[in-house]
Amino acid sequence: MTAKGNYRLRVVAAAVVAAEVAYLVLWAVGVDLVLASGGTVGAVQVAAASAVASFAGWVVLALLERFTGRARRAWTMLAAVVFGLSLFGTAGGDGTAAVVGLSVLHSVVAVVLIAALPRCAGFTRRAADAGGAGDSGHVAGRAAAGNGR
């Protein structure tokens, strides 16, 4: 796997772990994520939903990188819009605590993905070979330049 792919896989894992930690905190303080439809949201659903959303974000970013010149900017704007729209879905919670809890989970995943996933957008092999940092000093460019983590 490339340095960019490896980094993005770690971002996906971080989003899932962050969502699970938030879920455990909500559970510890007594927030039941009960839906108005009668179902409940548990740890498995949280992990699955955050993983699917994260991988979907990765795919969209990869497509934008392939077909546009400003993938980072386009992805960040699109991700912010998708996050905002996703908050409408949290209204399906049964009660204020459930709605707030679901909103927290959506927010945690969005923050991790929007902050970290596009960091290496625009990376090209040529930039790494030249020792440059490519697009705004992303992780893979720093690693190629000898300043890696």
Domain ranges of the chain: 3-138
Long-range contacts of 12-16 (CB under 8 A, 24+ apart): 12/51, 12/54, 12/55, 12/58, 14/112, 14/116, 15/50, 15/51, 15/53, 15/54, 15/108, 15/109, 15/112, 15/113, 16/47, 16/50, 16/51, 16/54
* Residues 11-53: tens digit of each pLDDT: 999 999 999 999 999 999 999 999 999 999 999 999 999 999 9
Look at residue 74 in the predicted model and tell me its pLDDT. Answer: 94
Of the listed ranges 1-5, 6-10, 58-62, the one predicted with least confidence: 1-5
| Structure-model confidence comparison of residues 73 and 136, the more confident one | 73
C-alpha separations of 34 from 39, 53, 87, 124 in Å: 6, 21, 16, 45
- Six-digit token string for 133: 């940092």
End-to-end alpha carbon distance in the chain: 17
> At 146, is the pLDDT very low, low, confident or very high (cuts 50, 70, 90)?
very low
Per-residue pLDDT, averaged over 58-62, amounts to: 95
Select the more confidently predicted residue: 122 or 70.
70
Per the model's pLDDT, the better-predicted residue between 130 and 120 turns out to be: 120
The reported pTM is 0.79
- From the CB of residue 11, how many other CB atoms can be counted at a distance below 10 Å? 21
pLDDT at 129 over 80: no
pLDDT number for residue 5: 86
Beta bridge partners of 34: 40
CA-wise closest residue to 61 among 8, 125, 111, 108: 8
The pLDDT mean for the chain works out to: 85
| Angle at 53 (CA atoms; ends 142, 123), nearest 5 degrees | 20
Distance CA(23)–CA(116), nearest Å, equals 21
C-alpha to C-alpha distances, 123 to 88, 114, 128, nearest whole angstrom? 34, 17, 8
